[in-house]
Amino acid sequence: MSEQVTSRQVSVGDVPLHRYTEDQVVAAVREALGRDEGGWIVTPNVDILRQARRHPAARQHLDDATVVVADGMPLVWASRIAGTPLPERVCGANLIWSLTAALATDGRSVYLLGGSPDADGPSGAVRAAERLRAAHPGLRIAGAHSPGYGFDQRPDELSATLDAVVGARPDLVLVGLGFPRQEAIIAMLRPRLPGTWFLGCGAAINFVAGDRSRAPRWMQRAGLEWAHRLTSEPGRLASRYLRHDLPYVCRLLIDAGRRRRQRPGHDDGAARRAT
């Protein structure tokens, strides 16, 4: 699988991304599980690429992943401008549904780690697991846990959380703790579960649980999902999106145009037709 994946890579913001559609990611995971091979999917958006540029530890997570696909339309736009187009945006919030649908067909299991803790009722992970099981009969829920905030800074709680996931031996682990915390947790789990696949999915467990709403489909297709999230959580996201990510997007697109002009025998007309 590694040779096949590597042959389909293109560079966006100096990060190799795979030219996979969502269906191809799902197919690759199913094929690997059939061979008892695990792996790791990372779905970087603009903010993750920006962090990877500044922080070596964040970049290492992208380098260590098995499959890296673009969760963010600006990354797709940059690839098209550069003349090496990615086929589509592959969003972690969509992969949750398509991967678990495939696992249900194969009678496999999933563990959900993340989502909103809830002392007065079922946690976000438990409610998300119930929705996935209802949507995909045949899906086995190996476990669901929403750890308390800062659990990874408490050694006993971190150890118990990791041990619970390892003990469940799931085929897929959905880790929704935000980048790069979720990737750090995945890096700890992978050596202990070599036959398991992992997906760092950010807020997607909360989306499935119904604790947060996704943008309308037209906003997703237009690359405006960030605007929906900004209006939903302006206090938390305004500085990140407007002060940091927006300038980075501008630089990313300008750099993509420069790369296209530097490509041997580049054809501006072909690049435009690819869009």
Question: pLDDT (tens digit, 0 to 9) for every residue of the chain, 275 residues total?
Answer: 444 444 578 999 889 999 999 999 999 999 999 999 999 999 999 999 999 988 999 999 999 999 999 998 999 999 999 999 999 999 999 999 999 999 999 999 999 999 988 767 789 999 999 999 999 999 999 999 999 999 999 999 999 999 999 999 999 999 999 999 999 999 999 999 999 999 999 999 999 998 877 767 777 777 777 666 767 777 776 677 677 778 878 888 888 898 888 777 655 554 455 44
The count of C-alpha atoms lying within 13 angstroms of the C-alpha of 180, restricted to the half-sphere facing its C-beta, is 19
Amino acid at 77: W
Pairing state between β 172-176 and 140-145: unpaired
Whole domain around residue 159: which residue ranges? 2-274
Residue 153 burial (C-beta neighbours within 10 Å; 0-12, 13-18, 19+): exposed
Using N-to-C axis directions, what is the helix angle for 181-189 and 155-168, rounded to 10°? 60
Q: What is the per-residue pLDDT for 4?
A: 46
| Residue 44 tokens, joined | 């970087």
Q: How many residues does the chain have?
A: 275
Q: What is the per-residue pLDDT for 270?
A: 47
Q: What is the per-residue pLDDT for 100?
A: 98
Q: What is the per-residue pLDDT for 5?
A: 46
**Domains: count for the chain:** 1
Which residues fall within 8 angstroms of residue 39, CB to CB, at 6 or more apart? 1, 29, 32, 66, 67, 197, 198
Give the H or E element holding residue 271.
Answer: helix 268-274
Contact predicate 162/188, CB 8 Å: yes
Q: What is the per-residue pLDDT for 129?
A: 97
Helix (H, G, I), strand (E, B), or coil: what is residue 196?
coil
Using N-to-C axis directions, what is the helix angle for 22-34 and 92-106, rounded to 10°? 40
Amino acid at 158: L
Q: What is the per-residue pLDDT for 166?
A: 98
Q: What is the per-residue pLDDT for 2?
A: 43
Number of helices (H), then strands (E), belonging to the chain: the values are 15, 8
Q: What is the dihedral of CA 231, 55, 60, 31, to 10 degrees?
A: 10
Q: What is the per-residue pLDDT for 216?
A: 74
